Amino acid sequence: MSVLVLALMAWVSVATGLPVPADPPTVAFESSESLWSRVYGDQVFDPETDGPILGIYDDATRVIRLPNTWNPYTVRNVSILLHEVVHDLAVQSGREYECQGAEEQEAYETQARFLEAAGMTLADANIVHGEELRLMTMCLPGM
C-alpha cells in the first residue's frame, strides 16, 4: 500500500504543483458504519438509503480512512485514495482555501483528471454526479 500511496503522491504533485511531504499519510480501513459516524456523528447509518462514505482524510492525524471493502484493483478505488491524497498534500503544504467546497473542488478536479486518463468520468465511476458535485464544491457564506 505504501508504494501505491507514494506513487499517487508523485502523480498529484505533478498534476497540482503541490509539494510532496517527506512522509506519506497513514491509510486505515474501517467499517462503513464507523466512517459514517466519523462524518455524521450520532446520526444512524442506514445502508439502504444512505450513500456510502468513500473516504475521509483526517488532517489532525494525517490518516486516510477507507471502507474495509476498499481494494486497489480498480481505477475507481485508486481514484478515491488519490482524492484523499490531494487533501493530505494540500494540508501539508499549508495551502489555504476560501472554504471547504474549494478544497473539495481541487480534490475532485484532480480525481477527474486521473479518471480521464483511464477513459472515465467521476459520474462513470459512480463517485459523484453533476448537481451533487456542484453543491459539494460551492463556497457558501459562513462555510
**If you search the block for the grid coordinates 453533476, which residue do you land on?**
130
pTM for this predicted structure:
0.90
Angle at 52 between CA 120 and CA 10, to 5 degrees: 50
Number of neighbours of residue 141 by Cβ within 10 angstroms: 5
Per-residue pLDDT 10s for the chain (143 aa) are 799 999 999 999 999 999 999 999 999 999 988 998 888 888 776 766 667 889 999 999 999 999 999 999 999 999 999 999 999 999 999 999 888 888 889 999 999 999 999 999 998 888 877 777 777 777 877 65
